[in-house]
Structure 1
Amino acid sequence: MVQPIDRDAVRELIDGRDALLLEVLPPPEYEWAHLPGARNLPFAGLDGAAATLEPSRPVVVYCRDWACDLSPRAAHRLERLGVREVYDYPAGKADWLAADLPYEGHAVLVSRVMRRDPVIAFPGDPVDDLAERILSDPAGVAVVVVPRHRVVLGLVGPRELEHAPPEATAEQVMCSGITTVRPAEPLEGLPERMDRAGVHAMAVTRPDGVLAGLYTTGTTRAPESDPDL
């Protein structure tokens, strides 16, 4: 019986049982980005290729995302063709890439260029303690996160520091209405959009809001809130 599984189960099958990953999208989409080690087997070619799969090896089938029905259809077709252990990863590579996991292909996504060691601050950190770290850092901002969970709350930059009272905390002065970006965002066009919005730094977050990194352009302007970015 075909079993739908999530991202964590996919990783367990890869690490623990050397599962075979099959992307059933057309070759151009596979070449753009795919899970590490995945084999491209477009849906139309399943019947001819099923006999070449190792019978003892688990097979994980995926396509683009939840809205794409190719992976469940392919998984059930493989089962009908005699593949004994088939799993469907219905969230697909959109889910994998958004979680900042490794990928192969020629796509240049934010995850490949973002800074993974930005200055971070906790909500209760005094502004006085942050100022030197922020102003001496090339990005010129600190990402305010929830302790332990690292969920992003906002950014603190030179504008927030300028009029902050000495006793203020990061949470009290931060810009909370920031636009964030996912690791899976294609880099093409993003710097131009940020430039039009007057933004030079964006927190990169996973879908659960957890900090993955910081993407900055070459400008030195302080970050602004722009819900339409």
Structure 2
Amino acid sequence: MQYHSSVDLWAERCQLAAMYRLLAHYRMTDLIDTHVSLKSATGHFYINNYGVPFEKMTASDMLLIDVDGNVIHKAKEDIEVNKAGFVIHSAIHEARKELTCVIHTHTTAGIAVSCQEKGLLPLSQHALKYYNRTSYHQYEGIAFCETERERLVADLGQNDVMILRNHGLIAAGRNIAEAFMNIIALERACQIQVQALGQGERLISPSKEVCEKTAAQFTGPAQDRIVQLGFNAALSLIADQKSEYEI
């Protein structure tokens, strides 16, 4: 295995801890449940210490594990892995090597849309980002069974976002900034849809041609800069917490 300095590996933990704090800032938490993972330069991935609220997550709460669930490194002795978190994230990291960060949420709007038969509708610009680019996975109960991993990654395919029926959302990215911007846009699209459906008015959608055009506009090199700018702006909102989560 290639050598990586402890400084570099600690920076990865700090980055993931910041992501947990951001999800708390944007109210995308479910007490101690749901999870975010980040692939390490070592080839393994970090996931959180189960039982710590996202608002209090620190770099020391990040546990490095492999895709088989073996503990590679932990900064604390009394640390626990969420079994469902391991099943979901290990499956995606193993199948989609390019996706370094995976986010799973249980938000009210996300679960509401996951229960709707037609899923995510092309009602807003946020939703059009994922037009014909959203995967769906049928609910099988709490994800404790490792045999579900094969079906989960088959359903995900080559998309970066997936709606878990009757359960919640998954968003991933080639880096932590991309994953964050994906979950923000997907969550906002779900919020808009729930609000729009509750108005009792007849809804309109753009033409299929415009939907596809818009989705394509969210791709390409220029978007990488926008994604990083957005993520940096979000990090500035929790700048006062930096000394807390980098421990």
TM-based fold match above 0.5: no
Q: Which has the higher contact order (CA 8 A, sep 6+)?
A: 2
Structure with greater Cα Rg:
1
TM-score, with length taken from structure 2 = 0.22
